[in-house]
Each structure stands twice: as structure tokens, then as C-alpha cells.
Chains A and B, each alone.
Chain A
């Protein structure tokens, strides 16, 4: 590790990361005193994020690239795929058989496996760990060899994510300076009606918005720079709480605060899974670190997760360490007698534990990236102001789940990847179908976001690491753009409902055409096979190619091959439905149309900037060989460039990503993607542009289907029924149990005690009265009264009795002892 570069990069990115925190603190303490009507908060936050962006870009262009020059990506990948395609197409069967053998031996001896691998002509040659810089800043706690730290792990992906997040955040900040101007003066919230029938009037909270936004940027960048899983978790939660604040920004609206709660709690469900994964990892490997800690001379002092699981001796193939195997045997205990542990048939060699750890970590990603079945919070999160939707709920925070999946990639077993693929596949289809019927412009985009995140997860699950991360980057730009355009529309017409829009392109041309760019980018428009195209064209085709290649290797998993293609059709349909309903045709609500206006320049300039990126982020920069995929290729996780085979599911094969560039696949997938997207646009045009089919009639014809989709597959109702209601019932039962059962037992025993004492009192009293002289009886009577007083609760005496009793006891004992 190059110390100078490492310290330079970590310092640069640390400042880019911490500056927003400073902004948060400044606005927290000074925001209000600067006056509610000042733009102070906005300027501070915007200035700071601009600095962060500058630092990030300097880190990329000034430090990273000079030290880590890009390979000529297109050239090398062509070469690699040529070599691979030949091998795979000629001997697929032989290759699989050979590989299976190698893999099943895998756990027995690394040397063995390495030999078997290298014997073949190179397709076992696995990629080395990417160039990365790792270090600790701060220790939270250390217990023996266990250490929880705050540190950094910087590779090409980190740097690129920094640039992406800060750039989009900068655009959003500028945009929000204009969008939030309502908050500069007293704000009348037309959505909140007070008990006296008037609308709520409240002071503006302009600075507060930027305060949260700054905290969010800090947390998000913290997730990106995190050097270990625990630190990811810390910032993961902080991102969640920022999202809570931002969704619930309109705290007076019940729907907003409910949506904020829902988002946080649903995310916590994911975090529950993540904690399980973390526990499994922590107990087996004893570390959370992504990278290896080296001393000043470059010797590895502490191994991270990845280098433990994918050691160089094992040719970077995933192999459970002894500690993982031991932990699995401890936890799962394969059988009572020791024999079967050695039995290769039953010995999964720690794979189950790695599977649990991987799926557990992925659960966190399911929550954060709104994947099925935890996708329900994201559409509701649209209650927040639109800049929030653009930054938090499309470009960055929800992408954090995908980012973590990509970051944690080397530790996922093939089976865990299959789970990821299935989740992604389900998500992309479910969300896309719901988007078809939604009429709230932001909700359409929300479902579209979920669906696109599903694409990314699918790509990662299918082995397409670069494809998935590439889509993450391109999607961030065009989805941020789309959301900001929708915000501009909402700002112009003061409604979210697309059924009240129409024809707006004449009133707001910049918004309309930048949004068209966004739509074209998201559907992946471009000239098939040869390009050029919008950014989505490159990333979506890469995903579909990988799916195609995966489908070829795993014929039994064909659904994973076809899902993205079907998804492309639906995406094209609902995106153009959205655009047509909003901007084309005749105005549906003349009043709103008449009052519509283009947004101010502070809002449209960011739109234009983002649309440039939405078009060109997938392109190769002229003259240089700089392009996004080449940069991503630099960060390719260790050991992911080999075709791998499942251990628990031996028939599962994750194909090498470079195989998907084979001309045969590229050609077929390219045309499939193009034709489905084109037909989606065509169908949307037929219905919403040329009005050849009446949407209302269609709705009638497909009534059950429409209501199924309109009600979002009834997920909210289902969860209410099977999770929320039972939880509330259990909690009521617990409360009831306390009051009725535990306390009743307590009260019952008190009553019994009282009763006993009364009986004793009565008997005692009567016997004495009958048998003794009146004088003595009188004394007893007094004594009885006195005793009763004690029993009725003068508790000072209770204590006194105990003390006296104790002392008397001791005196008695001491006498006894002395006599002995």
C-alpha cells in the first residue's frame, strides 16, 4: 500500500465526509438565530457540499487516477471476453464437470485446488484484490483480539461513490434553495386542517431542512467510506434517522409522520437481519474489516473479512476459514458423533454459516434499498419534500443497500447470491407492475426506483458486479433528474396527481425535455448493439447480458433471465405513460394549467446539469480512456472474475461477468432489450399519446387486475394483518398479563396474609379474653390494636424490626458461639 497516496486520499475524503457534519452543527446552533427568513442555512449547507464535491473530484482526478491509471478497458475486456467465450462455448459441459470436482475438493486443500484450476487454460485465473487503502481512525472498543473501529476503506468504488453522492447532493442543494422558498416565510400548510377548520399556519423551517440535509450527506458519505461492517451499520442507522427526519419534515401532517415511522421501523426489520448476519460474521471471523490492516512496512497485521475468506493460496476462491467451520460446527452441530463431520457428503465446510452471514447482511440491504418484501416504506416516503425524494430516496440512501451488497460481494456464497437474485427479480417485477396504475407522479417514480434497485440487486445476484454497480451510478443521475423534474412540475402546478396535469410541455419546456432525457435514460434508449445511447442503455444492457449469460449457464433458472427483459418493457411503458400524462396531450385541469409556470433558474440549471450526466455518464470521455465501467473494473472485488459453482446447490453456476460480453449474448440481449423497451414505449404512445385505446375502458376490462395493482398487491393490508395486528395484540396481552395476572397474584397473596393475621388475631384474642383476667385482657387489646397498626402499613417499623431482628440474631449467635 502506498502510504502517501493512502494518507492523501483518506485525508481528502475524510474532510469531504466531515464537512457536512460541521455544516449540520453550525446550522443546529446558529440556524435559528440567523432568523427564520434568512437563507443562511441553505447557503452554508450548499457551500459545504460544494466543497465536499470539489474534494471528492480532486480525490478522483488529482489523486486516484494519477496513481492508479486505467487500463484500456474496452480493449482488455474485448480480449478477455474473446478468450472466455471461446472456452465456454466450446466446452461448457466439460468445464462444468471439471469445475465441480475442483470445488468439492476446495475445502480440503488449497494447493490441490489451485493446481486443478491453473491446469486449465486460464479461466480459473482469478482476479486479485483491487487496489485499496484501508486504515483505522478511531477505536470504539477492543476486547482481546476483537476490535470495533471507525476507519476507512478506499478503492475506486469509494471514490466514485463520493463523486456521485456529492455531485447529486450539490445539484439537490441548489435545487432546494429554490424549491424550499415557501419555508422562508410563514407557511400555510393546506394539507393540515386544525380542529377549528382553518389550515395550519406555522413559521417556516428553511434552515431546518438544510440542517437535516447536511446530516444526511455526512451519514451517507460515512456509509460509503466505512472500513468495516460495524461502521456501515452505525452510519446505516444514521442515514435511517436522517431519512426519518426528512420524510417527516412536515411534522404536522399525520401522513408524513406515519410514513417516517414506517420507513424507520421497516428499515429496522432489515437491520434485525443485518444484526444476525453481523453476529454470525463476528463470532466466526472475529473481524468486520473490509481491508487488511498493514503496518508501516506494508506487512499485514490484521486480516480483513475478504482476505480471510478469499486467500491468495486458494486462488481467491471463497473458502470458509477454520474459525468459520468451527463456529458452524458449534452452532449447527451436524451430528452427535464425530464421524459425519469428516464426511464430505454432509460437510458443508462452513458454507451454511457464510450463507447465513451473507443473507443476514443482505437483509439490511433489503430494508435500505426497499427490496421485496420490505419495499413498502419507499412509496410512502414520498411524503417528504421533493428534493429529499431526489437525493435520499432515489439517488443515494436507497442505493446504499446496493452499495453494501457490492462492497460485501466477495463474502457472498453462490447460494446467497441466488437469494439476492431472486429478491431482486421479485422486486423489479412487483414494483414495475404497481407503477403502471399509480397516478401520483412521485409514487410512479418511487415504484420505478424500487424496480430499478431490483435490477441492480438482480445483476449483483447473477454475478454481474460491474453491471450492477454501473446501473447504480447511472440510475442515481437519471432518477435524481426525474425526481427533480417531477418536483419542478409539482412546484409549477401544486399537485402530485397526474390526472390533473397534461400538456405541460408548453408551459414548462425545460422541465419537460430534461424529464424526457430522464425517461429515455431509464428505459435504456440507444442504437442497439453499436450505440451510442443514453446512460441507461449501457448499464441496463449490461444487466440483461449478464442475465442472458446466467440463463445459459443455469437453464433451470430461466425466470432470472427473462425478468429483466419483461421489466424493461414495463419500465418503458410506465415511464412514457408518466411523461405523456404530464406533458403531452390536452390539459385535464384547465385551472391548474393556466397557473402553471416554469421553475426559476436555480431549479432548472441543476436539471440541465443532471440531464447531461444522464446522457453521458456511460460514455467514454473523449481523448482519454476514462469511462465509468473501466473505473468500476478497477474496484472489482477480489475473486469475482471466476466462474463459480454452488456448494450447497451444486447445480448453481455463477458465470464470469466477462463471458457476458460474448458477441452471441450481446447481440441477442441487445435486441431483446431494445425491442421490449420500444414496444413498451409504443404501447404507452398508443394509449396515452394517440389515444387509440381508452385507458378508462382498459381499466374496466381488466378491473380485477387493476384493483390488484392499484392496491399495490395489498402488501400494506397484508402486513397490517400478519405483523402489526398480532404485535399490538401481544403487547396488549403483555400489559394485561402484568395487571391482571402478576398483580393479581401479588394482591391475592397480600389478602391471604391479611386474612391469616386476622384469624390468628381473633383466635388469640378470644382465648385470652375468655381465659384471663380483665386487666391482662385490656393490655392484650391494646397490644392487638398496636399489632394491627403495624400490619396496616407503618413500614418504618418493618425496617426497624429487620434491623433489630438482625442484631438480636447476631447477639444470640455470639452467645451460642461463646458458650461453645
Chain B
């Protein structure tokens, strides 16, 4: 047991908040501030742990420029079903983990105004953090699902108890929507599980799935053989099933291993069997998973829980909701939907992109009409997360582009960048709204004005953060949006043009809100006397947000160097898969049918 082992380090990272929650529950009655301080200290500790992985040469680190999973570990959990305690990091999950631990610190800092049931609040907050970190780290589908549900419950209570006047409605709405998504996801998980078969993977694929580790100088095949002959439970079952030569009696070795499922989706025909209505199993799995994830993103038309949840949730919970929870939807799409069900992804790429574009446009229009400040910001999240869905969907390595994956890479990287950028800017925006809500206790956009004169420092930060949301160059929102938009044309110029038009609407609603809230001669709403300048605590939250917005705006390489190799690798794999698939399809077609060939010339 030492910290340089992934199993220890990552478990500590994930479960430290949960353990702390348990401790808090057992502690004798303390003052509210003491509970808050302890919780803040725990979140800071978790943040430091996540930063610790930047330290190169330490026992456990996250290396930039490496595409593969790092710091993998697996421990059998429920061996009967092949369920493992299986975690690891790559460029897709690592930035999100750092973002999570970062925003949790800030959100805890923003929790100081909360005075109701503080102990319970802190416990739930910490459980939520465990859930979120667990989702981003788990590589076992069952484990992923458990964390997904673990995160759901604290969120329900955090909205339902500490929220605004309509908190119960909002909480139940949030819960039902998310529950629907979870159930669909569960169905898809079981579909995939019962059709998976580890024994169909070859040695290299077993290595890629993280099951077989290649030691220093060994070859892939040798390691594989060594593994098969080892004492490992899974290996023994694998050997037992693989030894069966009669195909009729051969059983399948099911797995929840996400990486293995990815290998099966891309290299075998396990998920290609017909399921319903002439569509393949993976097509249906993709649809179910996609609905489950876009509820979380959220995309139109499954987005109506978000404005209500945001409006009612207390400020720190809004920050977490917008900054991290929405990213889980995007994370699920890139980690699970596409690599496991590439054929469905290829088939439905246009649908996915359309969902993204519709969300962008619809969210922006809806934001323009809002009079509630928080609701406006919530709709802006719908619009901005549309970029993410769009960027993931631009399957532009096709026959008529010569399977050139460069634009696609740009789109997916842009979408990932947008997730991080939006995590910062949306959390910042909700915090900025929260600061004035704490003072004047209303959010009616038409009853503000003149805040620049009363709270100049705060207003400066707020305008800066809102400009980050607007996608101004030099701030974090710009890079992701531009990468995504520039990449779309290669996939579909119609969608590209529609998505580009959103820049006008975004400018419209953000500038209009700024004008109504911060500019103008005087404050028009109630409780004007309460508008005191920003406090030191609030400043301590605003500054890191603003600084990271600027840093990510002008130094994209700082993020891309960690993220891009993994994203590029996945896109390259899918592009290779597309080419192989198209060749297979063309070969299967009768002679004389030259549909695909025309385009490829």
C-alpha cells in the first residue's frame, strides 16, 4: 500500500470525499463554519491529489503526449459477472477530473452563504464529488453505472432541500429525466454485456483493452500467453472457454470492460446482429445510450429540466451542475457511444450533428427571451453544449474526403476543449449571478442596472466571464467554438452555416444581459442597499475562474498536449474503422452499383 500504486492513488482520489462524508456524519455537533471548513479542506486536498499527477517522475503521474490509458488498475469485484473495480486515465478523462476537483473547491467556497442543515449539505456535497470523479475514472461499465447513480441522489437532495421556492418541482423533474436516461443506459449496458465475448479478441486487442499488460521487453503475444496461463480468475475462465473447440457448445465470456467493448465494437461483428426493426443491436444500443447522455448534456428537446434545476438550485450546485454534470453527457458520448458502436455512430452522425445544431440555435433563441438571469445562463449552457455534441458528431473521414481525419480530429478536440472551457465559463457565470442574488434576492433581468457603479470589481470580473461565454478571443470559450465551427464544413456545409449563425445570437443575449444588469445609471430593483462590493471570499473564487478563462483562451496547448493524443488516437481508430467498413460494404454490393465510387473519385 503506497501512494505510487494507481489502485491506491486513484481510489484515494475518488473515495476521499466519501470517507470524509462518513467522518462528518460521525463527528459530534460542530459549528456550521467548522463543517464548511472541513469540507473545503477535503476538496482542496482532492484538488491537490489531482494536481499531483502533473508531477512527472513521481510514482504516479499523467504524462502528456501519451494517447493510451495511463495508470490502469483492475481488481475483481463481482467475478461471476466479470465486474471489476477497473479505473484509469487518458487524455479524455484526465482534464475533466482536474476540472471536477478544481470546480468543487470553488463551489465549496461559494457554499458559505448556505446556512440550512450545513452538515447534511457538506456530506451530500462530498458524496457528489465522489460520484463525479468516479464516473470519469471508471472503465468498467457496471462501475460507471453505479457512480452515475451515486451522483444522482445527492444532486436530487441538494436541489430539493437547499433550492429556491419551486425546488421540489425542479428536483423531481431533474430526477425523473435523469432516471429515464439511467434506465435507458442500463438497458443498453445489459444489451452490450450479453452480446460481448472476450474470447473473440486477439492478443493485441486484449492489450488495448487493458486486460493484458505488456511488461517492458516482452512481446504482445508472449504477454497474452502468460496471462492466459496465469492464476487470474478471468484468465482461467478465458482459457476454459477458449479451450472449447466445438462452436455449438462454446460459451461467451461476457464483460463490462469498456475498453474491451470498444475493441469488440470496432474489430468484431458481435454487436452487428439484427435486433429490432431491421436495425442492428449496436444501433439500438447507441440510440439508448445517446438519449441517456443527451439528457445530461442536455440537448433539445430533452433539456427542460435544466432551466428549472438551475433556477432553483443554490449557486454552488448550479456551478457544479453546469460545470461538471453536463460534461458527463459529453464524456459518455465520446467514451462510450462512438467507440463501442461505431457503425451506429457512422449511420447516425448526421442525426447527432443535427441534435447539436438544433440545441445551439434553440438554446440561443430561448436564452434571448428569458427575463430570469439564471434561466438565461441555463439556456446559454444548452446552446454552448450543442457545440460539444456537434463537434463529436462531425464524422468527416468519409469516402468523399479520402478518409482524411484531420477535420474530424479538429471537431472532436474542439468539442472536448469546449467542455473544459464551458466548465469554467458556465460555472463562472452562475457564480456571478449567485453573487448578486445573495445580495438582492432576485434575478429579474429587468430589475437590475448600474451595478458597475456599485460593485466595480465584481462587474469587471462578471463582464470578463460573460465575454468568455460569448466566445471572445483570448478567453476560454473561443478556442473550442472556433475549432468546432471550422471543422463542420467538411462534414456538412448546411450545418456549418447554421452553426456559424449562432455567434450572432450569442452576442445578442449576452450583451443584452450585460446592458440590463451592469450598465445603466442606477439600480432599479429591490434591496439596492445590499449591493456591497465583492467580498474577499467571493474574489477568491472569481479570480481563479477568470485566470483560467484567460489561460485557456491564450494557451490552448496547455490543455491540448494532455488531451489531444488520446482524442486523435480514437478518431484515427474510428477513421480506420470507417474505411474498412466502407470497403466491406462496397465489396458486398452487387456489381454495377457505383454509388460510393462516384463520391470517392
Write out the residue numbers on chain A whose beta carbons fall within 8 Å of the beta carbon of B368. Answer: 727-728, 731
Say which residue of A257, A280, A798 sits within 8 Å of B515 (CB atoms).
A257
27 contacts between A and B (CB under 8 A): A194-B521, A194-B522, A238-B472, A241-B472, A251-B518, A251-B519, A251-B520, A260-B511, A264-B511, A268-B503, A279-B496, A283-B407, A330-B599, A331-B493, A337-B598, A728-B368, A731-B369, A734-B365, A734-B369, A738-B303, A738-B307, A742-B301, A743-B304, A795-B172, A795-B175, A798-B179, A803-B149
Interface residues of A (CB under 8 A from B): 139-141, 143-146, 148, 189, 192, 194-195, 200, 202, 230, 233-235, 237-238, 241, 244, 248, 251-254, 257-258, 260-261, 264-265, 268-269, 271-272, 275-276, 278-280, 282-283, 286, 330-331, 336-338, 727-728, 730-732, 734-735, 738, 742-743, 746, 750, 793, 795-796, 798-799, 802-803, 806, 810, 814
Q: How far is the CB of B421 from chain A (nearest CB, A)?
A: 13
Do A793 and B172 have beta carbons less than 8 Å apart? Answer: yes
Do B493 and A143 have beta carbons less than 8 Å apart? Answer: no
Write out the residue numbers on chain B whose beta carbons fall within 8 Å of the beta carbon of A244. Answer: 511
Do A278 and B366 have beta carbons less than 8 Å apart? Answer: no
CB-contacts of B362-397 with A (<8 A): 362, 365-370
Say which residue of B401, B500, B505 sits within 8 Å of A330 (CB atoms).
B401
Write out the residue numbers on chain A whose beta carbons fall within 8 Å of the beta carbon of B120. Answer: none
Say which residue of B81, B493, B508, B515 sits within 8 Å of A727 (CB atoms).
B508
Do B173 and A802 have beta carbons less than 8 Å apart? Answer: no
Say which residue of A257, A265, A336, A795 sits within 8 Å of B508 (CB atoms).
A265
Write out the residue numbers on chain B whose beta carbons fall within 8 Å of the beta carbon of A253. Answer: 521
Given contacts A140-B556, A265-B508, A802-B149, is CB(A279)–CB(B485) below 8 Å? yes
Dominant secondary structure at the B interface: helix
In the docked arrangement, what's the CA distance between A297 and B307, Å? 59
Question: Does any Cβ of A come within 8 Å of B242's Cβ?
Answer: no
Given A141-B413, A795-B153, 7 more contacts at CB 8 Å?
Answer: A143-B409, A143-B410, A241-B472, A268-B504, A279-B486, A734-B369, A799-B149
Do B504 and A731 have beta carbons less than 8 Å apart? Answer: no
Do B366 and A738 have beta carbons less than 8 Å apart? Answer: yes
Do A141 and B560 have beta carbons less than 8 Å apart? Answer: yes
- B490's nearest neighbour on chain A, judged by CB, is A283
Do B500 and A279 have beta carbons less than 8 Å apart? Answer: yes
Do B474 and A238 have beta carbons less than 8 Å apart? Answer: yes
Do B511 and A265 have beta carbons less than 8 Å apart? Answer: yes
Say which residue of A237, A241, A254, A795 sits within 8 Å of B520 (CB atoms).
A254
Looking at B156, B472, B519, which has the most chain A CB atoms within 10 Å of its CB? B519
In the docked arrangement, what's the CA distance between A814 and B568, Å? 40
In the docked arrangement, what's the CA distance between A799 and B486, Å? 43
Do A734 and B515 have beta carbons less than 8 Å apart? Answer: no
Given contacts A275-B500, A279-B485, A279-B489, is CB(A141)–CB(B410) below 8 Å? yes
Q: How far is the CB of B327 from chain A (nearest CB, A)?
A: 20
In the docked arrangement, what's the CA distance between A579 and B309, Å? 61
Do A202 and B410 have beta carbons less than 8 Å apart? Answer: no
How many of B's residues come within 8 Å of A, CB to CB? 77
Write out the residue numbers on chain B whose beta carbons fall within 8 Å of the beta carbon of A200. Answer: 521-522
- A331's nearest neighbour on chain B, judged by CB, is B493
Question: Does any Cβ of A come within 8 Å of B144's Cβ?
Answer: no
Do B483 and A141 have beta carbons less than 8 Å apart? Answer: yes
Do B501 and A272 have beta carbons less than 8 Å apart? Answer: yes
- B406's nearest neighbour on chain A, judged by CB, is A144
Looking at A139, A145, A282, which has the most chain B CB atoms within 10 Å of its CB? A282
In the docked arrangement, what's the CA distance between A465 and B290, Å? 53
Do B557 and A265 have beta carbons less than 8 Å apart? Answer: no
Say which residue of B179, B406, B493 sits within 8 Å of A279 (CB atoms).
B493
Write out the residue numbers on chain A whose beta carbons fall within 8 Å of the beta carbon of B599. Answer: 330
In the docked arrangement, what's the CA distance between A753 and B515, Å? 45
In the docked arrangement, what's the CA distance between A259 and B511, Å? 11
Question: Does any Cβ of A come within 8 Å of B534's Cβ?
Answer: no
Given contacts A235-B473, A738-B304, is CB(A261)–CB(B153) below 8 Å? no
Given contacts A730-B365, A802-B182, is CB(A276)–CB(B497) below 8 Å? yes
Write out the residue numbers on chain A whose beta carbons fall within 8 Å of the beta carbon of B483. Answer: 141
Write out the residue numbers on chain B whose beta carbons fall within 8 Å of the beta carbon of A802. Answer: 149, 179, 182-183, 186
Question: Does any Cβ of A come within 8 Å of B452's Cβ?
Answer: yes
Do B503 and A272 have beta carbons less than 8 Å apart? Answer: yes
Looking at B362, B368, B413, B473, which has the most chain A CB atoms within 10 Å of its CB? B473
Given contacts A276-B500, A793-B172, is CB(A735)–CB(B366) below 8 Å? yes
Write out the residue numbers on chain A whose beta carbons fall within 8 Å of the beta carbon of B568. Answer: 143
User: Shortest 5 CB-CB distances between A and B: which pairs?
Assistant: A144-B406, A279-B489, A731-B368, A731-B369, A735-B369
Do A195 and B369 have beta carbons less than 8 Å apart? Answer: no
Question: Does any Cβ of A come within 8 Å of B164's Cβ?
Answer: no
In the docked arrangement, what's the CA distance between A146 and B601, Å? 22
Write out the residue numbers on chain B whose beta carbons fall within 8 Å of the beta carbon of A148. Answer: 482
In the docked arrangement, what's the CA distance between A189 and B520, Å? 12
Do A265 and B172 have beta carbons less than 8 Å apart? Answer: no
Do B511 and A261 have beta carbons less than 8 Å apart? Answer: yes
Do A282 and B489 have beta carbons less than 8 Å apart? Answer: yes
In the docked arrangement, what's the CA distance between A253 and B450, Å? 10
Do A746 and B304 have beta carbons less than 8 Å apart? Answer: yes
Say which residue of A141, A734, A810 sits within 8 Å of B479 (CB atoms).
A141
Do A192 and B304 have beta carbons less than 8 Å apart? Answer: no
Looking at B482, B483, B599, which has the most chain A CB atoms within 10 Å of its CB? B482
- A742's nearest neighbour on chain B, judged by CB, is B304
Do B301 and A272 have beta carbons less than 8 Å apart? Answer: no
Question: Does any Cβ of A come within 8 Å of B405's Cβ?
Answer: yes
Encode contact with A along B553-589: 1 for CB under 8 Å, 0 otherwise. Answer: 0001100100000001000000000000000000000
